[in-house]
């Protein structure tokens, strides 16, 4: 067969190693006092890749994610995001934060601002975008997350699932190159989880680079390119979902999956 006729990814090798990683984490260590929370973690994230991070509570998933936009510092090792070294230089930190969006478990919308103002605030304040431009963009984003009818409402008038969808739209308004999600559906009632996961699936299909800490294994199986299992501050396993769920080699992982299934 002429290889030129083979669609990208058709051979199951959609992310060739020759591609430049968007995020490099190299030998990352982090302590909270005496507690060694992240232990020599190294991994890379590629453009357009969806990575799901799982692991027991307290294994360091949030800390690791938060280090990728400097909400936490790392003690040693190297983090490079889109060519920018994440260090003490405030210019680097600002540059990285401009490229990294984050969505938290607790939606974190500004309670005193409408949905529209929640989304347009940062682009207007930090990017110098005019109100008209920012609102135009916001309308598109609200449509994308299925919230067009709610732009005038305040967060307390929305369900948890709706608030989280607005939080995603707010993050997207800054045109991030990568989106980090820290248990985005963990605080939601079961009937609202799907609407948020559906928005995330759409984003993934649109090519967004995503790193998602979640216990939603259906999402991981369906959407992830790679699953990383954290244990006690280390990466115990990383593999494509079919391999990860199909034949988890490690007893710890099998036991974890048994508990949350
Ligand atoms: P996970 O997200 O996997 O549940 P975390 O990264 O939140 O894990 O936490 C890992 C460990 O670090 C936990 O034992 C937690 O108590 C501890 N920890 C997290 N944040 C802090 C902090 N700011 N100060 C001290 N200990 C912390
Ligand atoms: Mg956490």
How far is Cα 118 from Cα 159, in angstroms, rounded to an integer? 16
Taking only the tens place, the pLDDT of each residue in 76-110 is 999 999 999 999 999 999 999 999 999 999 989 99
Atom of ligand 1 nearest to the CA of 230: 3
Q: Indicate if the pLDDT at residue 204 is higher than 50.
A: yes
Angle among Cα 237, 239, 241 to the nearest 5 degrees reads 120
CA-proximal residue: ligand 1, atom 20 (nearest): 63
Q: Indicate if the pLDDT at residue 10 is higher than 50.
A: no
Do 259 and 83 contact (CB within 8 A), yes or no? no
Q: What tokens does 193 get?
A: 């989880």
Q: Which backbone phi and psi does 234 adopt, to 5 degrees?
A: -130, 155
CA-proximal residue: ligand 1, atom 23 (nearest): 32
Question: What percent of the chain is helix, strand and coil (3-state, nearest 5)?
Answer: 40, 25, 35
ipTM of the complex: 0.98
Our answer on whether the CB atom of 32 is closer than 6 Å to any ligand 1 atom is: yes
Query: Which one, of 62, 171, 156, lies nearest residue 113 by Cα?
Result: 156
How far is Cα 166 from Cα 121, in angstroms, rounded to an integer? 13
Q: Indicate if the pLDDT at residue 9 is higher than 70.
A: no
Instruction: Give the Å distance between the CA of 232 and the centre of ligand 1.
Output: 10
Q: Would you call 185 helix, strand, or coil by DSSP?
A: coil
Instruction: Give the Å distance between the CA of 105 and the centre of ligand 2.
Output: 9
Q: Which residues contact 147 (CB under 8 A, 6 or more apart)?
A: 115, 162, 165, 166, 169
How far is the first Cα of the chain from the last one, in angstroms, to the nearest whole number? 42
Q: How far is CA 150 from CA 130, 146, 161, in A?
A: 21, 9, 13
pTM reported for the whole predicted model: 0.91
Do 168 and 200 contact (CB within 8 A), yes or no? yes
Do 164 and 185 contact (CB within 8 A), yes or no? yes
What average pLDDT does the segment 128-154 reach? 97
Instruction: Give the Å distance between the CA of 20 and the centre of ligand 2.
Output: 28
Pairing of strands 226-231, 209-213: unpaired
pLDDT value, residue 47: 96
Taking only the tens place, the pLDDT of each residue in 40-73 is 999 999 999 999 999 999 999 999 999 999 999 9
């Amino acid at each position: 067969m002429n290889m030129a006729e083979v669609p990208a990814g058709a051979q199951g090798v959609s992310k060739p190693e020759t591609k430049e990683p968007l995020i490099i984490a190299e030998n990352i260590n982090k302590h909270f006092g005496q507690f060694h929370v992240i232990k020599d973690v190294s991994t890379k994230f590629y453009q357009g890749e969806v990575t799901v991070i799982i692991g027991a509570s307290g294994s360091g998933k949030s800390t690791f994610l938060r280090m990728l936009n400097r909400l936490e510092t790392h003690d040693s090792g190297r983090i490079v995001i889109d060519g920018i070294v994440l260090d003490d230089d405030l210019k680097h930190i600002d540059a990285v934060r401009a490229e990294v969006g984050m969505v938290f478990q607790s939606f974190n919308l500004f309670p005193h601002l409408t949905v529209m103002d929640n989304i347009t605030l940062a682009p207007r304040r930090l990017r110098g975008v005019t109100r008209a431009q920012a609102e135009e963009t916001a309308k598109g984003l609200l449509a994308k997350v299925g919230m067009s009818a709610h732009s005038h409402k305040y967060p307390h008038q929305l369900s948890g699932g709706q608030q989280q969808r607005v939080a995603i739209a707010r993050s997207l308004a800054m045109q991030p190159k990568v989106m980090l999600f820290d248990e985005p559906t963990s605080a939601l009632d079961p009937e609202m989880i799907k609407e948020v996961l559906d928005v995330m699936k759409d984003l993934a299909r649109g090519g967004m680079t995503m790193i998602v800490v979640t216990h939603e294994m259906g999402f991981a199986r369906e959407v992830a390119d790679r699953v990383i299992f954290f244990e006690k501050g280390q990466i115990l396993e990383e593999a494509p979902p079919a391999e990860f769920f199909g034949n988890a080699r490690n007893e710890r992982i099998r036991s974890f999956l048994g508990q949350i299934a």
